[in-house]
Structure 1
Amino acid sequence: MPNIHHAFVAGLIMLALVAPGAQAQGARAQPPDAYGAAHGFKGSEVASVITRIIERQLLTIPGVRSVHDLHVRSISSGIDAMSAHVVVTDMAEAARILKAVQRLMAAEFNTRHVTVQVENERLQGEETVRKT
């Protein structure tokens, strides 16, 4: 039985690959060439939706308080990568939470190239001060 998340994400990607504006004009949508698909997908709302879906999934992991600086990208054909900062309630749980993030990304999004910075609220606050 297919995973509902995979079907949803696949549907979103298919929407991203449809020629822009084709449905609004009543024309039959045609997929663009590879160049058009690659450039049309960058920065699109679909990519933003996928990022939000991943963030919501990460927030279901017990002990995860928030997620920021979440980035998802294709590093080559068929290989996706994710990086994020995960704020946890207890740093003693960092290893368990890291493993949970890695399992979730592999199972739900077929992404095994995962980089996670685990931090508590104090570390997140120090990071915010450094950025300003």
Structure 2
Amino acid sequence: MIKDERVLELIEIIKKKKRIAVKELAEITFSSTSTLRRDLIFLENQGLIKRKHGYVTLSSMNTIELSHQIREGESTRQKRLIASLAKDFIRSGMCIYLDSSTTVYELCPYLSELDNLIIFTNGLHTAQTLSETVNPNYSPLI
């Protein structure tokens, strides 16, 4: 099983159990202790879980943030490729709508190169990233 799949499986198990022993996680996932430890450290560094004295819990972040962070880590190469192709359809002065998907989120760096864009979005992460850009010539509207 590849890392992305293992990490998603771990998150789902931890969500269901609320609190689970690391030994139990190893048994459920059939993972070696070293692989499981690396995956749990990765999830903890992402702020998704907390590890304490042999057990694991989800961090207190809300479900929307958790969902976005998990999806953001999936298929990143493909999402960037799609975004780089999609940018060619957007021109300066256009009015565009960006949904809250993590694929559309990958468009943000390309949009800073264009002037006078009006951008509507329902994506909080997208709006935040757009508002932090160095190009003041467009306005994200939520």
Question: What TM bracket, shorter-length normalisation?
Answer: under 0.3
TM-score in terms of structure 2 length: 0.26
Higher relative contact order (CA closer than 8 Å, sequence separation 6+) = 1
TM-score in terms of structure 1 length: 0.27
Higher helix share goes to which structure? 2
Higher strand share goes to which structure? 1
